[in-house]
Amino acid sequence: VARLDEATCRSRLAQARHGVLATVHDQRGTDAVPVVFAAFGTGFVVPVDTVKPKTSTRLGRAVNLEADARFCLLVDSWSEDWAELWWVRAHGTARAADPSELANAADALARRYPPYRTAGSIVAAILLDVQRWQGWAAR
Amino acid sequence: VARLDEATCRSRLAQARHGVLATVHDQRGTDAVPVVFAAFGTGFVVPVDTVKPKTSTRLGRAVNLEADARFCLLVDSWSEDWAELWWVRAHGTARAADPSELANAADALARRYPPYRTAGSIVAAILLDVQRWQGWAAR
């Protein structure tokens, strides 16, 4: 078993193109949803966007995080060859980006994801402060 | 926005090769971990195996589910073309398979995953009873 050290965890998560954000839900226990993200400051930023179609920009993930700020962000690499498997997850607390932080947060996302280069595509952002790393690799 | 109906959710999840299982953790709020699974009875089965290297078969997911049985199982399809994105998730409660159920549960997993055709590769199983489906597709 390879437990991945914090530097490897951080590097693999920062390079991943997408992940899964798990949050606490009072009734359902947890919600998990795919997210895109970018490294931002010492942590990560997840957008609230107008690009991927939604019924509302009042997202379940944001509602959940207002009630309980704890998150788990998972990145995993799947392969039918299980010797290639690995995953990394970050635990910590989340908060909404301040208006003064939003432009920089949106820039960090736009550098990684071309659809966010369109003005107005990001309307809010969730900042993830990582307090704990865990990582696993099959070899 | 396309919300996926329950039949579509069930079908897409049953066909997926892997997913993410989110469970409740008292201190961290949630844990999310990649899992393989198979349709089993009216729900799904997740193995506790000896194939993917671990420090223990006393897995965090099982410990979490003993304390709080609520789970969220997510399958998502990533693409750089965001018109192709979709995800499905199932919410419900989990329990350990009884000894009398384990052989059938292991068979269901072995049919999908060749590494589980080796005797002794599955030592326990978690049964997922789905109470709620949610699904989303970009188009």
Which stretches does DSSP call E strand in B11-100? 19-25, 29-35, 38-40, 43-49, 70-77, 86-96
Residues of A in contact with B89 (CB under 8 A): 31-33
Answer whether A32 sits within 8 Å of B29, measured CB to CB. no
What is the helix, strand, coil percentage profile of chain A, to 5?
A: 30, 45, 30
**CB distance from A1 to chain B under 8 Å?**
yes
Burial of residue A7, with CB atoms counted within 10 A of its CB: 0-12 exposed, 13-18 middle, 19 or more buried = exposed
Low-confidence ranges of chain A (pLDDT < 70): 1, 55, 57
Burial of residue B57, with CB atoms counted within 10 A of its CB: 0-12 exposed, 13-18 middle, 19 or more buried = exposed
Whole-angstrom Cα distance, residue B105 to residue B128?
A: 11
Residue B87's alpha-carbon distances to B11, B66, B77, in angstroms, are 12, 27, 6
Residues of B in contact with A78 (CB under 8 A): 17-18, 34
Region B76-90: mean pLDDT is 96
Answer whether B23 sits within 8 Å of A34, measured CB to CB. no
Determine the residue of chain A that is closest to B89 in CA distance: A32
Whether the model clears a pTM of 0.90, i.e. scores above it, the answer is yes
Q: What is the residue-averaged pLDDT of chain A?
A: 94
Whole-angstrom Cα distance, residue A80 to residue B28?
A: 30
State the pLDDT at residue B55.
66
**Best CA proximity match to B37, nearest among B119, B136, B126, B133:** B126
Answer whether B87 sits within 8 Å of A34, measured CB to CB. yes
Q: Say if residues A75 and A104 touch (Cβ distance below 8 Å).
A: no
Q: What is the residue-averaged pLDDT of chain B?
A: 94
ipTM confidence:
0.94
- C-alpha triplet A29, B32, A76: angle, nearest 5°: 155
Whole-angstrom Cα distance, residue A115 to residue B63?
A: 41
The half-sphere exposure of A2 on its side-chain side, counting CA atoms within 13 A, is: 14
